[in-house]
């Protein structure tokens, strides 16, 4: 079978991680290996590369590395993915944000921006658009370009609309878009209070103080030690009593951080910073 | 007729039981799990296609009818014996070398997330001949490639007999690429797992 012809061994993955770190400065050593392996195998199949060729091209072709980075990180995202999470966010966190003169929100690992705009919709519905600002960050410059554009295919909007129905929010998701041919463009009103910028959770530090940090379906790609390091970063980036949201299947596993965060919603993994 | 002696021997020594199914396999898997004893001494991993945003109580249903604890997999859960794991919807489930699960939200495979192929291939990498996989009824070809990989790494692979499958496309796809070590009737599968 052609599919099984190309594959990569665990020592080869380690070799690749070392090489990428040396040549490009990106550290993937804390990433989960099964997923990494699957992504690398996929790239090798797509580009028809043997392991040796892959190493060669990674060293010598800067353009290729950008493609590689885009392929190796998973950029599948949706607006209102896990509708019940957004329902919980709306009921349990938004009222807290409204007590601030100005609330700052960080969506870490925001990919093409769907989650940032979902939060923006929630804030608009709550009348907080003018009192809030959302930072979307990712390690990947290409996806951030897409995020800034805020243009999504009509096909994906259809499934986002289905998600939206389950959130219990008023109105319709289409209130937030202008539809042109087969694409939907996010209203400027929602884009106004957003900023998309490069930030690498593995190597970059605190850059602001936030009332809410949302980092969903990013931890699944990290081993537990790296997760703990990033929890430290989030802890330092949150104001006292600030909120942290993880993905629906991601929990805080570290005993140290279990003590530093209070569980607000067990099912949706919403936490609140306690202590100082 | 009882199960093949060789097969029975492999079942007794297997550490991981992988069950894959789609349309037309839910009831069957449910009954199969119901008959597994509390001292099974194996890990059971179930990958079944499910509809997104359909908040089913599948885990609860399974749990109320099983001697073994049921867990919908969460990220970084440790793979334990005597536990039945169910792959969560809208994620792929992978298995890491050091014995824990990791999840992945990447593109659907065969329009499916969870994909049976993804979990089977990952299990093949980690457990090789220490696992057994059974592929049941379904209306697409997910699982066939994963079964093949498992077979190539020494696992025992079983396809439900297409005549017994409500939707035969899935087991047939596996049989067609020679991914199934055995093709068994439904009652033979039950006999094997419940001995």
What is the rounded distance in angstroms from the CA atom of residue B47 to the CA atom of residue B58? 12
Q: Is the dihedral of CA B41, B47, B51, B52 positive or negative?
A: positive
Chain A to chain B, count of Cβ pairs less than 8 Å apart? 72
Q: Supply the range of the domain harboring residue B180.
A: 5-193
% of chain B beyond a pLDDT of 70: 96
**Closest approach of chain B CAs to the CA of A126, in angstroms?**
24
Q: Given this model, what pLDDT does residue B53 score?
A: 65
What are the residue numbers of the active site of B? 22, 49, 142
B180: helix, strand or coil: coil
Q: Given this model, what pLDDT does residue A43 score?
A: 93
Domains annotated for chain A, with CATH where assigned, are 2-72 (no CATH), 83-273 (3.40.50.150)
CATH code, domain with B30: 3.40.50.180
Give backbone dihedrals phi and psi of B69, rounded to 5 degrees, phi first: -65, 140
What is the rounded distance in angstroms from the CA atom of residue B90 to the CA atom of residue A82? 9
**Closest approach of chain A CAs to the CA of B102, in angstroms?**
6
Q: Is A152:A183 a contact under the CB 8 Å cutoff? A: yes
CB contact under 8 A, A10 and B97: yes
Closest to B88 (Cβ–Cβ): which among A39, A166, A249?
Answer: A249
Q: Given this model, what pLDDT does residue A1 score?
A: 38
Strands B101-104 and B92-95: antiparallel
Does residue B82 register a pLDDT over 70?
Answer: yes
Does residue B109 register a pLDDT over 50?
Answer: yes
Mean pLDDT, chain B, integer = 93
What is the pLDDT confidence band of residue A192, given thresholds at 50, 70 and 90?
Answer: very high
Tally of domains within chain B:
1
Q: How many CB atoms lie within 10 A of CB B12?
A: 10
What would the 3-class secondary structure string for A120-178 be? HHHHHHCCCHHHEEEEEEECCHHHHHHHHHCEEEHHHHHHHHHHHHCCCCCCCHHHHEE
Chain A residue numbers touching B97 (CB-CB < 8 A):
10, 33-34
Closest to B91 (Cβ–Cβ): which among A224, A249, A253?
Answer: A249
Residues 6+ apart with CB under 8 A from A212: A93, A97, A103, A104, A105, A106, A242, A243, A244, A245
Strands B182-184 and B101-104: unpaired
Q: Given this model, what pLDDT does residue A60 score?
A: 92
What is the rounded distance in angstroms from the CA atom of residue A120 to the CA atom of residue B151? 49
Give backbone dihedrals phi and psi of A260, rounded to 5 degrees, phi first: -95, -10
Q: Is B178:B144 a contact under the CB 8 Å cutoff? A: no
Q: Is B62:B84 a contact under the CB 8 Å cutoff? A: yes
Chain B residue numbers touching A253 (CB-CB < 8 A):
76
Q: Given this model, what pLDDT does residue B54 score?
A: 64
**Closest approach of chain B CAs to the CA of A30, in angstroms?**
13
Does residue B77 register a pLDDT over 90?
Answer: yes
Closest to B75 (Cβ–Cβ): which among A37, A76, A250?
Answer: A250
Q: What is the pTM of this model?
A: 0.94
What is the pLDDT confidence band of residue A6, given thresholds at 50, 70 and 90?
Answer: low
Q: Is A208:A243 a contact under the CB 8 Å cutoff? A: no
Give backbone dihedrals phi and psi of A255, rounded to 5 degrees, phi first: -60, -35
Q: Given this model, what pLDDT does residue A275 score?
A: 77
Give backbone dihedrals phi and psi of A16, rounded to 5 degrees, phi first: -65, -40
Over the stretch B128-182, which tens digit does the pLDDT of each residue have?
999 999 999 999 999 999 999 999 999 999 999 999 999 999 999 999 999 999 9
B21: helix, strand or coil: strand
Residues 6+ apart with CB under 8 A from A261: A235, A244, A252, A271, A272, A273, A274
Q: Given this model, what pLDDT does residue A4 score?
A: 44
What is the pLDDT confidence band of residue A276, given thresholds at 50, 70 and 90?
Answer: low
% of chain A beyond a pLDDT of 70: 97
Q: How many CB atoms lie within 10 A of CB B179?
A: 25
Over the stretch B111-124, which tens digit does the pLDDT of each residue have?
999 999 999 999 99
A4: helix, strand or coil: helix
Q: Is A106:A208 a contact under the CB 8 Å cutoff? A: yes
Of A156-170, B52-66, B136-150, the one with minimum mean pLDDT is: B52-66
Q: How many helices (H) and strands (E) does chain B have?
A: 7, 9
Q: Is B158:B182 a contact under the CB 8 Å cutoff? A: yes
What is the pLDDT confidence band of residue A62, given thresholds at 50, 70 and 90?
Answer: confident
Q: Given this model, what pLDDT does residue A2 score?
A: 42
Q: What is the mean pLDDT of residues A168-180?
A: 91
What is the pLDDT confidence band of residue A189, given thresholds at 50, 70 and 90?
Answer: very high
Q: Given this model, what pLDDT does residue B23 score?
A: 85
Q: Given this model, what pLDDT does residue A3 score?
A: 45
What is the pLDDT confidence band of residue A132, given thresholds at 50, 70 and 90?
Answer: very high
Mean pLDDT, chain A, integer = 94
What is the rounded distance in angstroms from the CA atom of residue B108 to the CA atom of residue B52? 12
Q: Which two tokens stand for residue A247?
A: 């993905």
Give backbone dihedrals phi and psi of B99, rounded to 5 degrees, phi first: 80, 35
* 213-242 in chain A: CB under 8 A from chain B: 217, 219-221, 224, 227
ipTM, interface predicted TM-score of the complex: 0.92
Q: Which two tokens stand for residue A64?
A: 């290729």
Chain B residue numbers touching A250 (CB-CB < 8 A):
74-75
Over the stretch A204-223, which tens digit does the pLDDT of each residue have?
999 999 999 999 999 999 99
CA-to-CA dists, residue A66 to A73, A114, A186, angstroms: 11, 21, 26
Q: Does A193 touch chain B (CB under 8 A)?
A: no
Q: What is the dihedral of CA A19, A22, A26, A29, to 10 degrees?
A: 60
């Amino acid at each position: 079978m052609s599919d099984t012809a190309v594959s990569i061994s665990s020592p080869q993955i380690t070799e690749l991680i070392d090489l990428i770190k040396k040549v490009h400065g990106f550290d993937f050593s804390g990433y989960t290996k099964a997923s990494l392996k699957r992504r690398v195998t996929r790239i090798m199949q797509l580009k028809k590369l043997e392991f040796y060729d892959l190493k060669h091209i990674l060293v010598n072709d800067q353009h290729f590395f950008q493609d590689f980075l885009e392929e190796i990180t998973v950029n599948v995202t949706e607006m209102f993915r896990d509708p019940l999470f957004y329902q919980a966010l709306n009921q349990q966190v938004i009222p807290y944000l409204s007590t601030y003169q100005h609330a700052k929100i960080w969506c870490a690992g925001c990919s093409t921006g769907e989650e940032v705009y979902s939060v923006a919709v929630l804030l608009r519905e709550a009348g907080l658009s003018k009192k809030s600002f959302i930072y979307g960050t990712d390690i990947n410059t290409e996806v951030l370009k897409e995020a800034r554009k805020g243009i999504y295919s009509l096909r994906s909007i259809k499934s986002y609309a289905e998600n939206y129905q389950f959130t219990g929010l008023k109105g319709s998701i289409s209130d937030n878009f202008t539809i042109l041919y087969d694409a939907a463009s996010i209203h400027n009103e929602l884009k106004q209070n957003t900023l998309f910028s490069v930030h690498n959770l593995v190597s970059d530090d605190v850059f602001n103080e936030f009332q809410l940090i949302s980092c969903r379906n990013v931890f699944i790609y990290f081993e537990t030690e790296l997760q703990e390091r990033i929890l430290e970063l989030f802890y330092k980036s949150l104001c006292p009593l600030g909120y942290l949201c993880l993905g629906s299947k991601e929990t805080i596993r570290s005993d140290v951080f279990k003590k530093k965060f209070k569980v607000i919603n067990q099912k949706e993994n919403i936490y609140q910073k306690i202590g100082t | 007729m009882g199960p093949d002696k060789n097969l029975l021997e492999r079942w007794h020594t297997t550490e991981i039981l992988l069950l894959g199914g789609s349309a037309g396999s839910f009831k069957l898997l449910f009954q199969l799990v119901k008959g597994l004893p509390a001292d099974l001494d194996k890990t059971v991993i179930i990958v079944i296609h499910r509809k997104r945003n359909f908040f089913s109580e599948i885990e609860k249903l399974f749990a109320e009818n099983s001697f073994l604890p049921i867990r919908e997999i969460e990220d970084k859960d440790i793979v334990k014996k005597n536990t039945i794991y169910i792959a969560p919807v809208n994620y792929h489930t992978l298995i890491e070398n050091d014995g824990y699960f990791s999840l992945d939200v990447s593109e659907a495979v065969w329009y499916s997330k969870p994909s049976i192929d993804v979990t089977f291939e990952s299990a093949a990498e980690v457990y090789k001949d220490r696992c057994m996989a059974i592929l049941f009824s379904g209306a697409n070809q997910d699982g066939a490639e994963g079964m093949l990989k498992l077979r190539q790494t020494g696992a025992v692979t079983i396809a439900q007999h297409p005549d017994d499958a409500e939707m035969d496309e899935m087991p047939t796809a596996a049989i067609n690429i020679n991914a199934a070590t055995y093709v068994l009737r439904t009652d033979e599968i039950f006999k094997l797992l419940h001995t």
